[in-house]
Amino acid sequence: MQQLGAVLGGSYVLASLVIGLRLLALGLRTRDAAGRLIGSGLLLLSVVGYPMMAVSRNAVKLPDDTRAWLACCAAAALTMGTILMARFVQKVFRDDSAWAFHGLCALSLAMLAMFLGQTVLGRGWAAWAASGDVGTWSGARVGLLVPPAWGAIESLRYHALMKRRLELGLTDPVAVDRFRLFGVSMAAGSLSALATIVCQLLGLEILGTAVGALILLPVPLAAIALWLAFLPPRAYLERVAAAHARRAGAAA
């Protein structure tokens, strides 16, 4: 089961690595803030933060100081990645919304407070690496859920709006499908994260168990949808265009 979990989780790490680097490079080259935000966010969350935190919790043969240092670095990456991804969603979908901006500020302050609280209070990251759910960082699992859940809701909502424009010939079917794919990817990631939170609250063992494998089942779907949204092969784009042409022809 542990090997299966590594394969399932690794699929999203790989997709996030390739796509995160591509979007970050594109954002830097074109001075596009959204590209820089999502590229950096994907890299910090999925390539650095989550894998490093898993190592700090599960590599019990490492010295305690090393595990604590890994946990602290992982939490720093997760904190910044969460803020960047939330900022991406706010900028792309709710740039003119006061409540979205205030929500982003509240989430950012909460994540920073939980990270700093864990760092300076009690046994800090040594206690977290040893047993987890110790200290202020235990509340961060809810904060980590916000960007993917928010991104899923906004992207799928925008997909529905774009479909209406597509029926009038005012937009491109590939662009419409990209919102659907991104929404599906974020929703699948949110489902896996939510299931993890529920299992932790119930005290269920996750590492190397069937429960852990079930939790990770949505992750490959998230990876595939993310890849198709940002690096679609030509055959897929042609399929999307052909499907739209068939629907338009049938409606005519």
Residues 240-252 have pLDDT tens digits of 888 877 776 666 5
Pairwise CA distance, residues 4 & 121, whole Å: 36
What gap in Å lies between CA 249 and CA 17, rounded to an integer? 40
Contact 143, 172 (CB under 8 A): no
Residue 204 has pLDDT above 80, yes or no: no
pLDDT of 233 above 60: yes
Q: What is the mean pLDDT of residues 187-213?
A: 77
Q: Which domain holds residue 14?
A: 2-251
DSSP class of residue 151 equals H
**CB contact at 8 A, 124 and 118:** yes
Give residue 32's region: left, alpha or beta (phi > 0; psi -120 to 50): beta
Report pLDDT for 132.
66
Of all residues in the chain, what percent carry a pLDDT higher than 90?
54
Number of domains in the chain: 1
With a CB cutoff of 8 Å and minimum separation 6, the contacts of 60 are none
Mean pLDDT of 151-163: 93
In which residue are the tokens 């970050």 written?
24
Contacts of 252 (CB under 8 A, 6+ apart): none
**Between 91 and 172, the higher pLDDT residue:** 91
d(CA 125, CA 151): 30
- How many helices (H) and strands (E) the chain has is answered by 11, 0
Largest CA distance in the chain: 69
Mean of the per-residue pLDDT values of the chain: 87
Q: What is the pLDDT of residues 66-90, one digit of tens each?
A: 988 999 999 999 999 999 999 999 9
- pLDDT tens-digit readout, 171-187: 788 899 999 999 999 99
CB 38 within 8 Å of CB 88: yes
- 139 vs 23, higher pLDDT: 23
155/147 Cα distance (integer angstroms): 12
Instruction: Of 112-121, 130-139, 161-170, give the range with the top mean pLDDT.
Output: 112-121
